[in-house]
Amino acid sequence: MRKTQKLLFESGRPGRRGVSLPALDVSARPLEELLPQAFRRQLPLGLPELSEPEVVRHYTALSTRNHGVDSGFYPLGSCTMKYNPKVNEEAAALPGFALVHPCQEDETVQGILELLYEAEQYLKEITGMDRITFQPVAGAHGELTGLMMIQAYHRWHGQNRDKVLVPDSAHGTNPATAAMAGFEVIQVPSDQRGLVDLAALKEALGPDTAALMLTNPNTLGLFEEDILEIAAAVHAAGGLLYYDGANLNAVMGYARPGDMGFDVVHLNLHKTFATPHGGGGPGSGTVGVKEKLAPFLPLPLVERGEAGFYLDHDRPQSIGRVHSFHGNFGVVVKAYTYLRMMGADGLKQASADAVLNANYLMHRLKPIFHLPYDRVCKHEFVLSAREQKKMGAGAGDIAKALLDFGFHPPTVYFPLVVTEALMVEPTETESRETLDSFAEAMAEIARLVREDPERVKEAPHTTVVGRLDEARAVRQLRVRWSKEEA
């Protein structure tokens, strides 16, 4: 097999076309008449020139170079790479959803507004929140929207609170979002249990605290069991509680962020609610809020009136728009379909199975890799490759070696509170046989590290492309082809 795929620009021949246009049936006018010289480009466009089969073969070949959840196990911690049922795609492709224009009058898109309205009711029920916006199109976008609302809320109450607290085990997007929204980030340490250090949190809270951003279960896959006390302390200081919904898959139908005391929640529909992501996107960082924050939600929101559903733009306290129209509406259709197909009992079962799968795999792997927080986990768990690192091959090398077994690696070097971290999230959609074969591959790699760490350091050995120089790829980033440099 060829190691690299030719670019479209390097294929084909000058003058080759994929279509034959019919002869003009009107008289042609010279370009000079239609467009003044000043507005015409000076150089030819440089588009690739290919036939249809060349284009099809190019993309078909590329598609076989990918690893997705449709091709194999993908235990990427924190990303909930569950299987996405194909019926979701069918629903989103229905002409009534796919072919409408976002500028149509409300009365011509009642079905669409009804779907948004109903999806909001379902997600309110699942999260314990009072209102939902579908506008943000990614998790971090949802976080930013949430923090902008928190900022607007405090300012509305005449307070300029400029600090956001974030645990040291948080997703990297949390401190990044807080900084982006103009807050100062204060890190809160974890304790021996791997949970928020309550004493340190109380120490850090003050009249300048805008919010605490928290994931529950946290990135170690552990449930923050002091959550009610945490919420009480944050609220007593006048701050708000932000829920990073990346890990909601662990608790659907069992625990609701709203009941835990959270004021704002973002959901990754593309994780928890089975819509594609990870290069396959687009995503949805849907955000839910408690009543007191509802006035600040992006506009418009879908309301139900006597004459049917309508878009309410009359929201004077709104932070405005965070995306055009309703974000990625097609993703909401897919998530809605998933919700209806699963039902309430099905969602509970999904969370139960996700937790069961994670605990099963954790128990199979903990004799082989160090497990720094050895407790019952939720939907994911974090191993440490520190013993393997001493033998010469660390978490990053083990991740690469997994490619030789046909598995997507777990998340590595995260969370930062675990050295040589391997963060594994199997999700509920994997069979016991898959989990067993993954555990066997990990055992085999651990054996290889003991016997021949150099070989593991050079992995992968069987993939189309071998070990890439990740540092050089970032230092000398070059993602644009140009004819001159080719």
Strand order in the sheet with 381-384: 381-384, 421-424, 411-412
Single-letter code of the amino acid located at 65: R
Closest to another protein by CB, 11 vs 419, is 419
Shortest Å, Cβ 343 to another protein: 41
Shortest Å, Cβ 249 to another protein: 25
- Residues constituting the chain: 486
Shortest Å, Cβ 413 to another protein: 4
Closest to another protein by CB, 184 vs 452, is 184
Peptide bond into 426 cis (omega under 30): no
Closest to another protein by CB, 69 vs 220, is 220
Structure tokens at 437: 């074969």
For residue 128, CA distances in Å to 6, 138, 187, 252, 460 come to 51, 21, 27, 11, 45
Beta bridge partners of 95: none
Shortest Å, Cβ 176 to another protein: 9
Using DSSP bridges, classify how beta strands 184-188 and 209-214 pair: parallel, antiparallel or unpaired: unpaired
Nearest to 76 by CA among 431, 432, 422: 422
Shortest Å, Cβ 140 to another protein: 14
Closest to another protein by CB, 330 vs 453, is 453
Closest to another protein by CB, 313 vs 472, is 472
CA 441 – CA 75 distance, rounded (Å): 13
Shortest Å, Cβ 414 to another protein: 8
Instruction: Kindly write down the DSSP assignment for every residue of 79-123, as one continuous string.
Output: S------HHHHHHHHSHHHHS--TTS-GGG-HHHHHHHHHHHHHH
Closest to another protein by CB, 106 vs 168, is 168
Shortest Å, Cβ 375 to another protein: 14
Which single residue is written with the structure tokens 């949802």? 142
Closest to another protein by CB, 376 vs 473, is 473
Shortest Å, Cβ 308 to another protein: 49
Closest to another protein by CB, 244 vs 263, is 244
> At a CB cut-off of 8 Å and minimum separation 6, what does 285 contact?
136, 137, 138, 139, 140, 141, 142, 143, 145, 266, 267, 268, 269
Q: What is the DSSP letter of 196?
A: B
Shortest Å, Cβ 191 to another protein: 13
Shortest Å, Cβ 172 to another protein: 7
Shortest Å, Cβ 165 to another protein: 16
Q: How far apart are the first and last CA of the chain?
A: 22
Q: Is 185 exposed, middle or buried (0-12, 13-18, 19+ CB in 10 A)?
A: middle
Closest to another protein by CB, 315 vs 386, is 386
CA 366 – CA 86 distance, rounded (Å): 35
Question: Which residue ranges make up the site for another protein (CB under 8 A)?
Answer: 172, 372, 386, 396, 412-414, 416, 419, 470-471, 474-475
Closest to another protein by CB, 260 vs 412, is 412
Closest to another protein by CB, 87 vs 465, is 465
Structure tokens at 209: 């605290």
Nearest to 161 by CA among 230, 236, 239, 214: 239
Q: Are 327 and 184 in contact (CB under 8 A)?
A: no
Single-letter code of the amino acid located at 366: K
